């Protein structure tokens, strides 16, 4: 009998649509897999067994009634715990929201449900999406299915690990500085950050509102594109949502799969191919660049001189926005409340709640952000970082006058051992060295597996102009047709 957990989302949807397999069987197979391996992986913070089976039954009933099903109907999906799910716990990986059951669905989740996908549960993440390893989750780390002594990336390590461990064929992540792409790279899976405003932030617990972008994760490029199509598009409830249709990402993925990149010009970012990346990562990247050239792409080198300032600019802008966004977690309206014994002032209760509810990395960011925004320092830090952001955006627009897309390794290093970078925040921040510029610019970028280094996955990043998300899917699918997909050793 076929192991349903090993199939792609496209194949699963096909089996459900023809009635060869029921959505309930598909869902049960994934719930069983979670039961068998998640104790070792810890990709999930919450598994919604009842809700998933009910959603699957509804799909089977609709099929039996002769209703037309969407392209992903009956396919299970795991959702990062940063998105609100009505009646289903949403913690953002933090103790401050432990036990909170949101009264509404985020737009992404609403669209997933409307498309007939089956939500399996909520995935583990660094607290408030701040981190690159899931080690900053208040609920313990997720482990990389390729080697359970190593990190699965972050902040969306749970969403990536669930794919690599075959616990789900699809998952949702959010990318503020790399949290979809970096976990994708280190788990051998595909992760796409859509154009900022191309996917709705309504119901996405805010970290850094000018950067936060929800997006699709999958084990292959076409599956990611199908998921992107389902969740993307204008949402009037998000004031920065772009009022335009989703670029034809599915058509582009299919086109790319033919393996022909004739007429496509790609720029290798010289700032990201020199020092700073492990030799094994660079070797896999160079081989993939040759593969892209063999498929017909023209390859040139492009310098983006301000990219080297992206990391420091990000670590002022993101903490500044977070210090403001996280003010709402005060123990008054929802979540944890500490010290409310009738004798303490409101301010004392707020302070005790935040002291107990936030972890060290979140506190560090709030303090940095508050400092950067304080009067007297605003111009020197936050203001300066915004100017750098403009220069980085100009680097992108100048580059895109010369090439169709930019490429680089996704991350400087492969999955590192658990505990290796927790004592020095800067070492953790370096994981996103290559992914952050795109967030500051707002364009789309995808990470696609491109090879192995010492048996661990390496990702290649494709960055495209804003609202040209289709372009990166074409290149990603072409590369995949050449290098294939990567399967972790059996757990
Ligand atoms: N690792 C980066 C950070 O810690 C990016 C996080 C993200 O994209 N959510 O801020």
Q: Which atom of ligand 1 is nearest to the CA of 428?
A: 1
Q: Verify whether ligand 1 is closer than 6 Å to residue 137 (CB atom).
A: no
Task: Evaluate whether residue 162 is within a structural domain.
Answer: yes
pLDDT at 42: 98
Choosing from 80, 106, 132, 453, the catalytic residue is 80
Residue 280 has pLDDT above 80, yes or no: yes
pLDDT at 273: 87
CB atoms within 10 A of CB 291: 20
Task: Evaluate whether residue 66 is within a structural domain.
Answer: yes
Q: Rounded to whole angstroms, what are the CA distances from 57 to 97, 119, 315, 378?
A: 31, 13, 46, 55
pLDDT at 354: 97
SS (H, E, C) the chain: CCCHHHCCHHHHHHHHHHCCCCHHHHHHHHHHHHHHHHHHHCCEEEECHHHHHHHHHHHHHHHHCCCCCCCCCCCEEEEECCECECCECCCCCCHHHCCCCCCCCCHHHHHHHHCCCEEEEEECCCHHHCCCCCCCCCCCCCCECCECCECCCCCCHHHHHHHHCCCCCEEEEEECCCCCHHHHHHHCCEEEECCCCCECCCCECCCCCCCCEEEEEECCHHHHHHHHHHHECCCCCCCCCCCCCCCCHHHHHHHHCCCCCCCCEEEEEHHHCCCCCCHHHHHHHHHHHHHHHHCCCEEEEECCHHHHHHHHHHHHHHHHHHHHHHHHCCCCCCCCCCCCCCCCCHHHHHHHHHHHHCCHHHHHHHHHHHHHHCCCCCHHHHHHHHHHHHHHHHHHHHHHHHCCEEEEECCCCCCCECCCCCCCHHHHHHHHCCCHHHHHHCCCEEEEEEEEECCEEEEEEEECCCCCHHHHHHHHHHHHHHHCCCCCCCC
Q: From CA 454, how far away is CA 199, in angstroms rounded?
A: 36
Q: Verify whether ligand 1 is closer than 6 Å to residue 130 (CB atom).
A: yes
Instruction: Give distance in angstroms: CA of 366 to centre of ligand 1.
Output: 14
Q: Verify whether ligand 1 is closer than 6 Å to residue 440 (CB atom).
A: no
pLDDT at 363: 98
Concerning whether 8 is annotated as a catalytic residue, the answer is no
Residue 119 has pLDDT above 90, yes or no: yes
Instruction: Give distance in angstroms: CA of 127 to centre of ligand 1.
Output: 10
Task: Evaluate whether residue 429 is within a structural domain.
Answer: yes
- Tens digits of residue pLDDT in 200-245: 999 999 999 999 999 999 999 999 999 999 999 999 999 999 999 9
pLDDT at 460: 98
Q: Which residues contact 251 (CB under 8 A, 6 or more apart)?
A: 470
Instruction: Give distance in angstroms: CA of 222 to centre of ligand 1.
Output: 26
pLDDT at 209: 98
pTM here is 0.98
Question: Before 462, cis peptide (omega within 30)?
Answer: no
- Tens digits of residue pLDDT in 389-415: 999 999 999 999 999 999 999 999 999
pLDDT at 274: 72
Q: Whose CA is nearest to atom 10 of ligand 1?
A: 130
Residue 1 has pLDDT above 90, yes or no: no
25-29, 111-115, 193-197, 329-333: least confidently modelled range: 329-333
Concerning whether 86 is annotated as a catalytic residue, the answer is no
pLDDT at 491: 85
Task: Evaluate whether residue 329 is within a structural domain.
Answer: no
- Tens digits of residue pLDDT in 99-118: 999 999 999 999 999 999 99
Instruction: Give distance in angstroms: CA of 363 to centre of ligand 1.
Output: 15
Query: Which residues span the domain enclosing 57?
Result: 4-304+398-483
Task: Evaluate whether residue 233 is within a structural domain.
Answer: yes
Instruction: Give distance in angstroms: CA of 373 to centre of ligand 1.
Output: 20
CB atoms within 10 A of CB 484: 11
Task: Evaluate whether residue 434 is within a structural domain.
Answer: yes
pLDDT at 40: 98
pLDDT at 333: 87
- Tens digits of residue pLDDT in 418-462: 999 999 999 999 999 999 999 999 999 999 999 999 999 999 999
Concerning whether 423 is annotated as a catalytic residue, the answer is no
- Domain CATH code at residue 427: 3.90.1300.10
- Assign 15 a pLDDT band (cuts: 50, 70, 90): very high
Angle at alpha carbon of residue 178, lines to 312 and 13, rounded to 5°: 170
Q: Which atom of ligand 1 is nearest to the CA of 180?
A: 8
Q: Verify whether ligand 1 is closer than 6 Å to residue 432 (CB atom).
A: yes
pLDDT at 257: 98
Q: Which atom of ligand 1 is nearest to the CA of 154?
A: 1
Q: Whose CA is nearest to atom 5 of ligand 1?
A: 177
Q: From CA 471, how far away is CA 243, in angstroms rounded?
A: 20
- Tens digits of residue pLDDT in 426-438: 999 999 999 999 9
Q: Verify whether ligand 1 is closer than 6 Å to residue 129 (CB atom).
A: yes
Q: Verify whether ligand 1 is closer than 6 Å to residue 179 (CB atom).
A: yes
- Assign 44 a pLDDT band (cuts: 50, 70, 90): very high
State percent of the chain over pLDDT 70.
100
Q: Verify whether ligand 1 is closer than 6 Å to residue 404 (CB atom).
A: no
Task: Evaluate whether residue 348 is within a structural domain.
Answer: no
pLDDT at 265: 98
Mean pLDDT of the chain: 97
Residue 161 has pLDDT above 90, yes or no: yes
Q: Which atom of ligand 1 is nearest to the CA of 132?
A: 1
- Tens digits of residue pLDDT in 347-368: 999 999 999 999 999 999 999 9
- Report the Cα 436 to chain-centroid distance in Å: 13
Q: From CA 161, how far away is CA 342, in angstroms rounded?
A: 44
80-84, 95-99, 182-186, 330-334: least confidently modelled range: 330-334
Residue 276 has pLDDT above 90, yes or no: no
pLDDT at 43: 99
> Are 306 and 385 a contacting pair, CB within 8 Å?
no
- Tens digits of residue pLDDT in 58-69: 999 999 999 999
pLDDT at 334: 85
Query: Could you tell me which of 103, 107, 85, 81 has the C-alpha nearest to residue 94?
Result: 81
> Are 439 and 159 a contacting pair, CB within 8 Å?
no
Q: Verify whether ligand 1 is closer than 6 Å to residue 142 (CB atom).
A: no
Pocket mutation for ligand 1, best pick of 178, 209, 213 (most atoms within 8 Å of C-beta): 178
Task: Evaluate whether residue 466 is within a structural domain.
Answer: yes
Number of domains in the chain: 1
Choosing from 106, 137, 179, 288, the catalytic residue is 179
Instruction: Give distance in angstroms: CA of 193 to centre of ligand 1.
Output: 13
């Amino acid at each position: 009998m076929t192991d349903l957990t090993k199939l792609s989302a496209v194949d699963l949807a096909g089996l459900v649509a023809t009635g060869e397999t029921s959505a309930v069987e598909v869902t049960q197979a994934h719930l069983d897999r979670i039961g068998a391996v998640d104790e070792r992986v810890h990709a999930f913070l919450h598994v919604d067994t009842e809700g998933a089976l009910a959603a699957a039954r509804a799909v089977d009933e609709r099929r039996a009634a002769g209703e037309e099903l969407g392209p992903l109907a009956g396919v299970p999906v795991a959702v990062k715990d940063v998105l609100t799910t009505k009646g289903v716990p949403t913690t953002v990986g933090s103790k401050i929201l432990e036990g909170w059951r949101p009264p509404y669905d985020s737009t992404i989740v609403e669209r997933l449900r409307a498309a007939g996908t089956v939500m399996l549960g909520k995935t583990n993440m660094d607290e408030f999406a701040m981190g690159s390893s899931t080690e900053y989750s208040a609920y313990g780390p997720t482990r990389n299915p390729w080697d359970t002594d190593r990190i699965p990336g972050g902040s969306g390590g749970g969403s990536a690990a669930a794919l690599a461990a075959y616990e789900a064929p699809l998952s949702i992540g959010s990318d503020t500085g790399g949290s979809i792409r970096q976990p994708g790279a280190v788990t051998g899976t595909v992760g796409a950050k859509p154009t900022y405003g191309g996917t709705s932030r309504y119901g996405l617990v805010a970290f850094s509102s000018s950067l936060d972008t929800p997006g699709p994760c999958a084990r292959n490029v076409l599956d990611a594109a199908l998921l992107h199509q389902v969740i993307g598009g204008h949402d009037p409830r998000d004031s920065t949502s772009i009022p335009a249709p989703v670029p034809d990402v599915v058509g582009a993925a299919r086109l790319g799969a033919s393996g022909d990149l004739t007429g496509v010009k790609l720029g290798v970012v010289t700032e990201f191919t020199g020092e700073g990346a492990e030799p094994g990562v660079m070797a896999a990247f160079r081989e993939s660049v040759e593969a892209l050239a063999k498929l017909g792409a023209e390859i040139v080198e492009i310098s983006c001189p301000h990219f080297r300032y992206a990391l420091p600019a990000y670590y002022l802008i993101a903490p500044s926005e977070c210090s403001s966004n996280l003010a709402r977690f005060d123990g008054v309206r929802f979540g944890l409340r500490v010290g409310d014994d009738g004798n303490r002032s409101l301010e004392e209760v707020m302070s005790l709640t935040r002291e107990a509810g936030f972890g060290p990395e979140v506190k560090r960011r709030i303090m940095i952000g508050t400092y950067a925004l304080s009067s007297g320092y605003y111009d020197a830090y936050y203001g300066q970082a915004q100017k750098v952001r403009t220069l980085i955006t100009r680097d992108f627009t100048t580059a895109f006058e010369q090439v169709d897309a930019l490429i680089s390794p996704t991350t400087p290093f492969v999955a590192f051992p658990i505990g290796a970078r927790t004592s020095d925040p800067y070492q953790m921040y370096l994981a996103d060295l290559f992914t952050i510029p795109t967030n500051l610019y707002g364009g789309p970028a995808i990470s696609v597996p491109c090879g192995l280094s010492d048996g661990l996955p390496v990702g290649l990043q494709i960055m495209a102009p804003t609202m040209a998300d289709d372009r990166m899917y074409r290149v990603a699918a072409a590369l995949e047709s050449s290098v294939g997909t990567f399967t972790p050793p059996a757990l």
